[in-house]
């Protein structure tokens, strides 16, 4: 197994790190406090080629592999998880299913502006009563002429308030259960599509989400992704890829929290020496570094399998589960190392702590990841 990065990967790392330090770090705390969508950062991400990092150049993307995507995500999220998840959704949940499932005509019309950053995408699967149970869709698309009329509500849609284009999962045949779900491309500014107020969230506050309402929204047959009834398959393969992106986000949060805590521990003195020289703190830092590295290796493995075109459902669930739980543990211990200073917004520890929690929830909760891992393992044994 080769643990060396290519020159291309190192170039992506340098570019992402320079962008994070130059453009993101100076405003990360500000946009979190103000819950302000960082439009200027998203535009720069597009200029750098990071909004369609795995998309083929003929469709406006950078043509990099999934490992490059993980590298870039970690670097950006180590500074600002909000900025990272805006990029992640556009890449993993919008560009990726279009790459895999869309027709050539759909790719030319919809994928290219998303990959270049000209437009922003969102992914609409969750509903008020369909979160972890993704098959319990109540949004329906009823046939009308050659197309469909869509009615329903989608919940927690990241990028929803700003999105130009959406990937929608909804029922076309309730009698068939999950085999009756179909996927559509949605013009988010189309007639019959409206948005609720942005959600007031604990963390990733500069990344906006909201409810999306469909009221007699008509789509023609050219908006169907794949075939009627393939939506659940599209959604599950998309989430397998999305979990790699969230694992990378969690890695970034964990690394940012660790680095801030380690720096503080070398500066803060008690009983005549830096707190990093106290065994309780030094052991805590050692465990944080070890667990981050273990989660990173799981994430690289899933990304490498995806790059090789191999099935990676179990590996994606494993890396997402591990990285998200590590992020929460590291961020919590980071606050502890900062002590009282970790509880105030003057220092970054509390922001990392708040941002970490969502990684255990979206793209499938930790409980859902364990279900996926266990069921796949049992199936393999059978």
Instruction: Just list the catalytic residues.
Output: 363
Cα gap 256→326, rounded to integer Å? 12
Helix (H, G, I), strand (E, B) or coil at 127: strand
Task: Please identify which residue in the block is written with the tokens 């199936």.
Answer: 379
Helix (H, G, I), strand (E, B) or coil at 188: coil
Cα gap 216→152, rounded to integer Å? 9
Q: How many CA atoms lie within 13 A of 71 on its CB side?
A: 22
H or E element at residue 66: helix 66-77
Among 185, 192, 279, CA closest to 226: 185
Instruction: State the Cα angle at 170 between 204 and 89, rounded to 5°.
Output: 25
Contact 324, 360 (CB under 8 A): yes
Which DSSP category does 39 fall into? Answer: H
């Amino acid at each position: 197994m080769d643990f060396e990065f290519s020159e291309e990967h190192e170039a992506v790392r340098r570019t992402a790190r320079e962008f994070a330090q130059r453009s993101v770090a100076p405003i990360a705390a500000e946009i979190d406090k103000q819950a302000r969508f960082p439009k200027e950062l998203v535009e720069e991400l597009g200029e750098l080629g990071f909004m369609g990092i795995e998309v083929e150049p003929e469709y406006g993307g950078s043509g990099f592999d999934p490992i490059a995507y993980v590298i870039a995500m970690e670097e950006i999220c180590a500074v600002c998880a909000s900025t990272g998840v805006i990029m992640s959704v556009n890449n993993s949940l919008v560009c990726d299913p279009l790459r895999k499932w869309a027709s050539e005509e759909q790719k030319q019309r919809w994928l290219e502006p998303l990959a270049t950053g000209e437009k922003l995408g969102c992914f609409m699967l969750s509903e008020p009563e369909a979160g972890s149970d993704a098959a319990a869709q109540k949004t329906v698309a009823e046939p009308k002429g050659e197309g469909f009329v869509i009615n329903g509500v989608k919940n927690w849609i990241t990028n929803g308030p700003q999105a130009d284009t959406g990937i929608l999962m909804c029922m076309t045949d309730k009698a068939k259960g999950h085999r009756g779900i179909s996927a559509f491309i949605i013009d988010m500014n189309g007639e019959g599509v409206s948005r609720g107020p942005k959600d007031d969230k604990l963390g990733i506050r500069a990344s906006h989400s909201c409810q999306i309402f469909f009221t007699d929204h008509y789509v023609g047959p050219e908006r169907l992704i794949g075939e009627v009834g393939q939506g659940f398959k599209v959604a599950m393969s998309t989430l397998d890829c999305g979990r790699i992106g969230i694992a990378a986000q969690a890695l970034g949060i964990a690394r940012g929290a660790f680095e801030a805590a380690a720096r503080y521990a070398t500066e803060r003195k008690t009983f005549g020496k830096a707190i990093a020289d106290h065994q309780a703190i030094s052991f805590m830092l050692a465990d944080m570094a070890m667990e981050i590295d273990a989660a990173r290796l799981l994430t690289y493995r899933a990304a490498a399998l995806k790059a090789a075109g191999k099935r990676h459902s179990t590996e994606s669930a494993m890396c997402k589960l591990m990285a998200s739980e590590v992020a929460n543990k590291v961020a919590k211990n980071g606050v502890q190392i900062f002590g009282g200073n970790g509880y105030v917004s003057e220092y970054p520890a509390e922001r990392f702590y708040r941002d970490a929690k969502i990684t255990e929830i979206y793209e499938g909760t930790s409980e859902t990841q364990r279900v996926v891992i266990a069921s796949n393992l049992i199936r393999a044994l059978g």
